[in-house]
Amino acid sequence: MNLRAALTAHRLIAIVRGDDPEAALSTVLALAAEGIELIEVSLSGKDALTVIERARQALGPDRPLGAGTVLTADDAHAARRAGADFTVTPALGEGVRVARELGMPVLAGVLTPTEIVAARTYDATALKIFPAAEAGGPAYLKALRGPFPHELFVPVGGVDEAAARAYLAAGATAVGVGSPLVGDAADGGSVSALRERARKFLGAVRDVTP
């Protein structure tokens, strides 16, 4: 898949992490049904690889599906076998390198200018600013874009609807959203409430002119 083009076009990644595999799968499918094109299933969730396998079967081969919290070479290989076609990491390391060797695009976690430069040696596809809120929010992102105007930045961590708009206005390519969007749905919470939140977030990212 072309992750750079997908991030630019869709501007939102939903992050699914839960302790109930059935609920996590239902969450992925509900998000997809509401029109969220980029969905990441975190490997830190219970039976996450099985969730990815089943989601891939349900969604078909052409719908983008990511594996998150990819830390190691084994994680990258397992994500590929499960059917993920892109990976997301919280930091730079073996997970990034091996996923790229396997031909998978990677949204690689960085925080500092030094890490942004280092990400180029890993051939990262795009850069996840994490934890974005703790780093300084939209103002920090705007400052990073000064020396790095051509990087694709995706803030993750503490991104609610208002923050999503602010990050995109500050120059983010997309935003990654976990609990403010998913809530408790991946642990068995309300799917109808999840769907409502999905519609609101889609509206929020569409409101901001690129």
What residues are annotated to the active site?
Answer: 40, 128
Angle between helices 161-169 and 137-145 (to 10 degrees): 20
Amino acid identity, residue 112?
T
Q: List Cβ neighbours of 22 (8 Å cut-off, separation of 6 or more).
A: none
- Decide if 104 contacts 80 (C-beta within 8 A): yes
Q: How deeply is 167 buried, as exposed, middle or buried, from its count of CB atoms within 10 A (0-12, 13-18, 19+)?
A: buried
Q: How deeply is 57 buried, as exposed, middle or buried, from its count of CB atoms within 10 A (0-12, 13-18, 19+)?
A: exposed
Q: What are phi and psi of 93, to 5 degrees?
A: 165, -160
Q: H/E/C letters for each residue in 152-186?
A: CEEEECCCCHHHHHHHHHCCCCCEEECHHHHCCHH
Find tokens 């969007």 and name the residue.
Answer: 181
